[in-house]
Chains A and B, each alone.
Chain A
Amino acid sequence: MKLIINGETQVCEAVTLAELLHVLEYEGDWLATAVNGDLVHREDRADHRLDDGDRIEILSPMQGG
């Protein structure tokens, strides 16, 4: 399955969003996720099934003005 993760196309067989984060070794409670332009709350990641071509954004805090 091809996924577009933070703008880069990757091949990954993760079934759910939570599984994808685990496979890619994202960790911590400071991440926010969106799929195809919609926020996916952290408590919903385990139930959110991924489809081929999904666009996934994974954001974290950084410095800002």
Chain B
Amino acid sequence: MLSLYDAALSSRLLLGTARYPSPAVLAEAVSRSGAEIVTVSLRRETAGGKTGGAFFELIRQLAVRVLPNTAGCHSASEAILTAKMAREIFGTDWIKLEVIGHHDSLQPDVFELVEAARILCAEGFCVFPYTTDDLVVGEKLVSVGCRVLMPWCAPIGSAAGPRNPSALTAMRSAFPDIPLIVDAGIGRPSHAATVMEFGYDAVLLNTAVAVAGDPPAMAEAFGKAIEAGRLAYLSGMLEPRDMAVPSTPVVGKGVFA
């Protein structure tokens, strides 16, 4: 059972809610994925607008935990205010903390990230930091109070999959007691299974499901891949080797020559 900030969860898939072809498709995708946590965001509401209200109602009907994000923030101060406004709307201390540092790669600004995390943790937030696979940054995030780390495996929306497997496995080794969630760059269920085989605790993804030809089916595929990867990790995987090892016993075989 996965535990994130003392919440017990059966599913190890966290699903984003953006870019689906319709609200109905989003709802079906969440249902078929088995996800118990969905990510949401905040944006400026136009005067008299009802857009936010319709989405708010949809999320309520999904009856899942909500993880608001601070997407689009480029400084600690922006992210902190967004987190507080998210808590006001959604009534949760959970916050997916994103502080973007690079326009093209959407790489996190880890300096602002750590500062924002320090302040938000001190104010009682349960911070889920979107970070890199840098061990020192991970240590600093934990030292300021983060009890979950969410490294990228490739840039957001890139669908590139794990670009630096050894860094991800090193991070797993460095933080054996901290839940680790791969947060960005997953494109295919096999990518998700791979990072779960590394021992990651969960996967957060959005685009790979939302823009699939059949998002609900893809959501289900990801759910199964993540379960498979987790089960494999727990089951003791065979290590690769260079030469063949016969799988069929040769002892007692017939001799015909």
Q: Which residues of A contact B (CB under 8 A)?
A: 5-7, 24-26, 28, 30-34, 37-39, 41-42, 57-65
What is the number of residues of chain B that contact chain A, defined by CB distance less than 8 Å? 41
Can you name the residue of chain B whose Cβ is closest to the Cβ of A41? B88
Question: What separation, in Å, do the CA atoms of A39 and B68 have in the docked complex?
Answer: 16
Q: What would 12 more interface pairs be, CB under 8 Å, given A59-B45, A62-B55, A63-B18?
A: A24-B47, A41-B88, A59-B85, A59-B89, A60-B55, A60-B56, A61-B41, A61-B89, A64-B40, A64-B42, A64-B69, A65-B39
On whether the beta carbons of A60 and B51 are closer than 8 Å, the reply is yes
- B100 to chain A minimum Cβ distance, whole angstroms, is 13
Tell me which of B26, B45, B51, B71 has the highest count of chain A C-beta atoms within 10 A of its own C-beta: B45
On whether the beta carbons of A62 and B40 are closer than 8 Å, the reply is yes
Q: Which residues of B contact A (CB under 8 A)?
A: 16-20, 26, 39-53, 55-56, 59, 68-69, 71, 77, 81-82, 84-86, 88-90, 156-157, 205-207
- A11 to chain B minimum Cβ distance, whole angstroms, is 14
Instruction: Determine which of A6, A31, A64 lies in contact with B18 in the assembled complex, contact meaning CB atoms within 8 Å.
Output: A64
On whether the beta carbons of A65 and B43 are closer than 8 Å, the reply is no
Known contacts A25-B47, A31-B89; A61/B42 CB under 8 A: yes
